[in-house]
Structure 1
Amino acid sequence: MKVGLYFGTFNPIHIGHLTIANHLVEHSDLDEIWFVVTPLSPFKKKSSLLDNYQRLDMVHLATKDYDKLRPSDIEFGLKQPNYTINTLTYLFEKHPEFEFSLIMGEDNLKSFHKWKNNEIILENHSIYVYPRLSEGKVVNELKDHPKVIKVEAPIMELSSTFIRNEIKAGNNIRPMLPNDVWKLIDEMGFYR
């Protein structure tokens, strides 16, 4: 089985995340996409970042009606600060029957050459890249790399930061969130 790993803080998960993940799983050879919730580093305190399990709960709520989209807390038990290569190594040991690939926006691909052990990641894993409007260029080695697969997906310029700011300002952002995620945020008073 081919599994795409979509890493993020998902603070909160929104319709942009779901649209991209669903598009990729429907229009590529990926069988499933796992939303890998990145834990809060104990070395970084960010007041706007909700607790790991609150964010994981929102991902559960957002993906429960999608057969091919799954939440993952795989990084919660790994030593922090964590690097993607460590997560991939752990997943390969735990699930050798799966083929894991990364999912990232084109903006992240532009800095991929700076990632720890990026050569090893590319040797062993494909990267599915969705379009993003961003500055800068992709380094030449990655432009036509056989493991870098560009997917024509909708360009989503919706961000969790924008949503948090709108909630704090008291504006209605309900259409930008899955219904159950909106209900939880509203009931708990998150991001106010």
Structure 2
Amino acid sequence: MRVGLLFGSFNPIHIGHLILANYMATNTTLDTVWLVVSPQNPFKPSSSLLHEFDRLQMVRLAIADNAELGVTDIEFRMPKPSYTIDTLTYLQERYPTYQFALIMGEDNLATFHKWKNYEEILDHYEVLVYPRPGSAKAPDAISNHPRVQLVPAPLLDISATFIRKCLKAGKSTRYLLAEPVEEYITAKKLYR
């Protein structure tokens, strides 16, 4: 089975994430896409993060009706901050017959050479890159690597930061969030 891994804090998961994950699962050679809920990104402060179990539950609610998508909390049980290579290694050991591919935005590709053991990722895993307008150019050695593939996925210029600001201000997030996610946020009074 070919599994694409879309890492993120999903704080909260929004329709941009869902459209991207679904596109990758249905328009590439992947069989499925797993959303990897990261407890802490080593490049971002954790102070603005909602509790990891709330973020996991929102992802579960958002993808419940889509058999092409899955979610994993694998990084919850790993040392923090978690590094992509460690997660990939752990998943490969746990699922030795699966082929994993990393899904990342073009903005991350530009700084990929700063990631822990990025060469090992390129040696063993396919990297599917979706466009991010205005991203810095990645070094040619990385962008032209045979395991790196640019996928022309549709993008919406929506950010979780924007959504959190709307929620804090009491503004509507209709159509920005899946309805079950919006209901969960409202019921638990999150991001207020």
Q: TM-score, normalised by structure 1?
A: 0.95
State the partner residue of 1:150: 150
Note the 1:32-47 alignment, pairs <5 A: 32-40=32-40, 45-46=46-47
* Structure 1 residues 45 and 138: alpha-carbon distance in aligned structure 2, compared to 1, 3 A threshold: closer
Counterpart secondary structure, 1:175 = coil
Question: RMSD of the alignment, in Å?
Answer: 1.1
- Deviations along 1:61-99, one digit per CA (max 9) or x if unpaired, are 001111010111010001112211110110111000100
Counterpart secondary structure, 1:103 = strand
Query: C-alpha displacement at 1:38, in angstroms?
Result: 0.3
Matched letter for residue 155 of structure 1: L
State the partner residue of 2:126: 126
State the partner residue of 2:4: 4
State the partner residue of 1:18: 18
- Counterparts of 2:55 and 2:129 in 1: how far apart (Å)? 24
State the partner residue of 1:80: 80
- Counterparts of 2:98 and 2:63 in 1: how far apart (Å)? 20
- Whether 2:187 is the aligned partner of 1:182: answer no
* Structure 1 residues 45 and 120: alpha-carbon distance in aligned structure 2, compared to 1, 3 A threshold: closer
State the partner residue of 1:138: 138
Query: C-alpha displacement at 1:155, in angstroms?
Result: 2.2
State the partner residue of 1:56: 56
- Counterparts of 1:152 and 1:9 in 2: how far apart (Å)? 23
- Deviations along 1:145-180, one digit per CA (max 9) or x if unpaired, are 110111111122111000001111111012100000
Matched letter for residue 119 of structure 2: E
Counterpart secondary structure, 1:59 = helix
* Structure 1 residues 78 and 30: alpha-carbon distance in aligned structure 2, compared to 1, 3 A threshold: same
Query: C-alpha displacement at 1:59, in angstroms?
Result: 0.4
- Structure 2 gap segments, 5+ residues each: none
- Whether 2:105 is the aligned partner of 1:110: answer no
- Counterparts of 1:95 and 1:143 in 2: how far apart (Å)? 28
Is the 1:110–1:137 Cα contact (8 Å) retained in structure 2?
yes
- Counterparts of 1:40 and 1:149 in 2: how far apart (Å)? 26
- Counterparts of 2:177 and 2:135 in 1: how far apart (Å)? 27
Query: C-alpha displacement at 1:45, in angstroms?
Result: 4.7
Counterpart secondary structure, 1:128 = strand
- Whether 2:69 is the aligned partner of 1:69: answer yes
Is the 1:132–1:156 Cα contact (8 Å) retained in structure 2?
no
Matched letter for residue 38 of structure 2: T
State the partner residue of 2:191: 191
Counterpart secondary structure, 1:176 = coil
**Count, aligned residues:** 189
Q: TM-score, normalised by structure 2?
A: 0.95
- Counterparts of 2:127 and 2:84 in 1: how far apart (Å)? 12
Is the 2:5–2:101 Cα contact (8 Å) retained in structure 1?
yes
Moved over 6 A (4+): none
* Structure 1 residues 94 and 152: alpha-carbon distance in aligned structure 2, compared to 1, 3 A threshold: same
- Counterparts of 1:33 and 1:54 in 2: how far apart (Å)? 20
